[in-house]
Amino acid sequence: MTAPRILLVEDERAIRLALSGLLKREGFEIEQAGSGEEALERIGTEDFDFVLTDLALGEGASGMDVLRFTKERQPETPVVMITAHGNEKIAVDAMKLGADDYVPKPFDNDEIRLVVHRCLERTVLARENRMLRARVEKDYGMGNLIGSGPAMRQVFETIEKVAETDLTVLIRGESGTGKELVAQALHEQSARKGRAFVAVNCAAISPELVESELFGHEKGAFTGADARRAGRFEAADGGTIFLDEIGDMAPETQAKVLRVLQERSFERVGGTKPIEVDVRIVAATHRDLEKDVASGRFREDLYYRLKVVELKLPALRERREDLAALADRFGRQVAERLGRPQKALAEEALGALARHGWPGNVRELRNVIEQAAVLAAEDEIKAEDLNLSGGSGVTPFDDAEPLPGQSFSDAKKASVERFERNYLLRALRAHDGNISRTADAIGMVRQSLQQKIRDLDLRDEDWSSHD
């Protein structure tokens, strides 16, 4: 990678040379401008990754002029202002005009290093986010939410109704049903489309780090916090934050998320200054939140704040009419990525897909099709090319007789639990009890599989004792 190119604008030669030497030692390519006019000329004709400018530049163009011109010509380039003591108010005005940060004099070398590195890292993330948004617009718009049945048509209608609002949406559904795709569609159909979409899997972040990830932290807030760090809520300012598996969030973190919903502000870990954000919250869970609220595991006030609009996604086994279209979509996508012709699905392969139980839902189907497209020996994917854990004949319900007087709802619940228990035991045995490999194979998030094992009260001996 080429070194980031920095324009250093400072009319005092001694300070300019000192800063130039400091930043060169950090591996940056430094260009210098001794006046505001020189800076404007260079910004108008050259590209820079970062601009560090003194606010007061003597006669002529000021640091504010450099800021405005940079944001006009190179809007993605971060600008940091160097201010004299007592000019903090002007520095705040500069932040309102788009400056990324300011450093008051006198400053030390460590402070300059940290500010430059942090702003450049944020720029890289912003560019990656923009590319991701472009990819999302191409691959994950409403067109990728395939569905011809009444349940999916209801999903599409709800997205169209609420996307343009800022209402909080709670997406319900089993793991792998496409909850993040729905959140992306809500974002892409809204006025926030041009801003960041930030997805956070609450189940995948350790409890010790979740607050730092969401809200950021101040330098020295805890061991290893060597610098101030912005969190996901700050990164999503002006856009949408998607809190996936919010049901797995610790109660103390739930309280902070509730505050963001109520007050649109929060404090970094170790900080005391409220940070205001304009962000739309979309949350998702596979858990029974009502049961968690009743048991005290999930805050009731947060539950009602999230459930302004509820959107329920059907499991794949409940929308088998979409199997062929989804399989074709995934097959075409993997073929495009690999630069190969798409492999058609044989009739017996479609039959095997239709008979499978799909506990991992759409995510599992994607994994199965992608693996088959790569490993199938011929130009057509046959049933034997499909890696359907537990066998292609697995169905979501067994044919066990209901107990006398048992309601349909209770019988269905018991049947689903038997299926889940038997399926997961077979999958765990097939992968020698390795949770990570099992989760990958069946298209589940590792933490969700662990939670399901706990919910079903499965133990190591249940699968390790199998011959």
Strands (E), 267-400: 275-276, 280-285, 309-312, 344-345, 380-381
Domain(s) labelled CATH 3.40.50.300 in the chain stretch across 140-314
What is the distance, to the nearest Å, from the Cα of residue 392 to the centroid of all Cα atoms in its chain?
Answer: 32
- Give residue 466's pLDDT: 44
Establish how many alpha carbons lie within 13 A of residue 9's alpha carbon, considering only the half-sphere containing its beta carbon: 33
CATH class of 140-314: alpha beta
Which CATH number describes the domain made up of 319-385?
1.10.8.60
DSSP reduced 3-state for 352: helix
CATH architecture for residues 5-126: 3-Layer(aba) Sandwich (3.40)
8, β-bridge pairs = 32, 52
CA 236 to chain CA centroid, nearest Å: 10
SS (H, E, C) 406-450: CCHHHHHHHHHHHHHHHHHHHHHHHCCCCHHHHHHHHCCCHHHHH
What residue ranges of the chain are covered by domains with CATH 1.10.8.60? 319-385
Handedness of CA 360, 365, 370, 375 (dihedral sign): positive
Label residue 139 by pLDDT band (50, 70, 90): very low
User: Distance (Å, rounded) from C-alpha 250 to C-alpha 248?
Assistant: 7
Between CA 244 and CA 179 the distance in angstroms is 8
Answer whether 181's CB lies under 8 Å from 140's CB: yes
Most confident of 93-107, 359-373, 402-416: 359-373
Contact 180, 199 (CB under 8 A): yes
Domain limits, CATH 3.40.50.2300, in the chain: 5-126
The rounded distance, in Å, linking the Cα atoms of 297 and 288 is: 11
For CA atoms 51, 55, 58, 62, give the dihedral sign: positive
- Give residue 410's pLDDT band: very low, low, confident or very high (50, 70, 90): low
SS3 130: helix
Q: Is the pLDDT of residue 308 over 60?
A: yes
The share of the chain scoring above pLDDT 90, in percent, equals 32
Closest among 212, 33, 12, 237 to 122, alpha carbons compared: 237
Distance in angstroms (rounded) separating the CA atoms of residues 139 and 275: 34
Provide the residue type at 276 as one letter: E
pLDDT in tens, 250-291: 888 898 899 889 888 888 888 888 889 999 999 999 999 999
Exposed, middle or buried, 454 (CB in 10 Å: 0-12/13-18/19+)? exposed
Q: Please report which confidence band the pLDDT of residue 393 belongs to, taking 50, 70 and 90 as the band edges.
A: very low
CATH number given to 408-464: 1.10.10
Asked if pLDDT for residue 396 goes beyond 50, the answer is no
More confident residue, 160 or 411: 160
DSSP state of 6: E
- Residue closest to 355 by CA, chosen among 368, 371, 342, 344: 368
